[in-house]
Chains A and B, each alone.
Chain A
Amino acid sequence: MIRLSVNGRRRAYAGPPFARLIDALREDWGLTGTKEGCGEGECGACTVLIDGEPANACLVPMGQLDGARVETVEALGTPERLNRLQRAFAEKGGAQCGICTPGMLMAAEAHRRAKGRKDREGICRALSGNLCRCTGYKHIIESVSAALKGKK
């Protein structure tokens, strides 16, 4: 039995240990905010935080998560109460089709918590593991920049 915390809630996992985190999230626990784009670690759509660090949920087997703290986009905010990053994406056009958005948000959240650089280069680096086919990145970077610089 693998015990972990997902978005602050304790979960026990009894399936095959080599199942991927993304499948447990989406299929076992109905947390479909985390998206699968490529299944190869390239696109970052599946980005979650594991013990506070960004990870591709398509590349992590459940067996590695005993005792881990997993956070998904569902932990950031709710439709009624968006967090600052989510609000900035909504206001600045950081999302178009939305497939990349949960991963972008989680990569940006990791960067925010790590107190990473707030300039364009720092943000680009933080999002370099995430692909977007729609926005051309400009609005995403502006969204993150606004959220990082915004006052509480």
Chain B
Amino acid sequence: MRGDAGSMTYLRPRDPEEALRLAGECPDALALAGGTDIMVAWNAGRLNGRSILDLSGLDDWRRVSTTRDGIDIGALVTHAQLIRHRELAAGWPLLAAACATVGGPQIQARGTLGGNIANASPAGDTFPALAVYEARVRVRSSRGGRELPFAEVFAGVKRTHLAPGELIVSVHLPRPPEPDRQLFRKVGTRAAQAISKAVAAGLLWTDSGGSVRELRFALGSMAPTVRRLRRAEEFLRGRRLDKGVVSEAARLLEEDVSPISDVRSTAAYRLRASQNILRGFLEGRLETP
């Protein structure tokens, strides 16, 4: 079956207040941002008869602003906007690098950061970067707003902890201290337009003696939701990155993920690929400039 335009109820609020009121009145309405996920489902005939709450007219949610403490990215900001954003590239380059791997230029020009998050795909390519930058997701409903640490946004495959009537307004990234090493890597079947088999982001701070002060490392496509490698991060604190230590960290990686085999890859390949990425990063062979 195909999408039937006549069967849809289409709501297009002009400002955030109207959007939140409509979202409260019609909690079943599906929010629409860039449509790069929704329109695919609609074209396949899976959304006929639904109500659509089109957020694309809310210019207030399309802005990026930086302060001394961090950067605020409106939910409707597109991947293309983020790729071009100078201050993002300077302070949070892993997110800019991630956005540049989402689909091709057409998808980047329409797809939004809010839509990427709300879609909650296990393979969301921005998620490892958002996880290591310890993003905070600001949501609002007609009853008020709250802020979710990024680690608490996802409930499972394609599910978030947003309540009915709640919309993502913006994403805040605190400004991290300058890392000594950083990495974004996407493993896919081809460079562009491919859903990732594994995707990784890492930030490393070392002290003058070369011991690890802090590691933050996150993996996507390796579990129902994005995972920080808490065990490896904890283990490495205060240690020098010699051979045995790196091997132990790669082994510990396994305890924080639960990869599956699917049409794109096998669990064993995913595990090995992500262990190789972690090793390469810790050994200084893999880096994002």
Give the interface of A toward B (CB within 8 A). Answer: 15-20, 39-42, 44, 47, 50, 53-56, 58-61, 63-64, 107, 110-111, 125-130
Contact = CB atoms under 8 A, between A and B. Distances in A.
B275 interface: no
B12 interface: yes
B191 interface: yes
Given A41-B36, A53-B109, A59-B40, A129 B12 contact: no
A40 B106 CA distance: 12
Nearest to B50: A18
B39 interface: yes
B10 A41 contact: no
A125 B56 CA distance: 27
A39 B192 CA distance: 18
14 contacts: A16-B6, A18-B10, A20-B5, A41-B107, A56-B106, A61-B5, A61-B10, A107-B104, A107-B106, A110-B105, A126-B105, A128-B191, A128-B192, A129-B192
A60 B107 CA distance: 11
B39 A60 contact: yes
Contacts of A59: 35-36, 39-40, 43, 110
Contacts of A107: 104-106
A61 B191 contact: no
Contact of A16 (B5, B44, B56): B5
Interface string B90-114: 0000000000000111110110000
B193 A129 contact: yes
A57 to B, nearest CB: 9
Contacts of A125: 105, 192
A126 B106 CA distance: 9
A53 B79 CA distance: 12
A41 to B, nearest CB: 6
Interface residues of B, number: 28
A17 B191 contact: no
B121 to A, nearest CB: 14
A64 B35 contact: yes
B75 interface: no
B106 A129 contact: yes
A55 B110 CA distance: 7
Nearest to B81: A53
- Nearest first, the 9 closest Cβ-Cβ pairs linking A and B are A129-B104, A128-B192, A16-B5, A59-B39, A19-B5, A18-B8, A53-B109, A128-B104, A18-B5
A39 B40 CA distance: 7
B212 interface: no
A53 B80 contact: yes
B125 interface: no
A6 B134 CA distance: 43
Contacts of A18: 3, 5, 8, 10, 42, 52
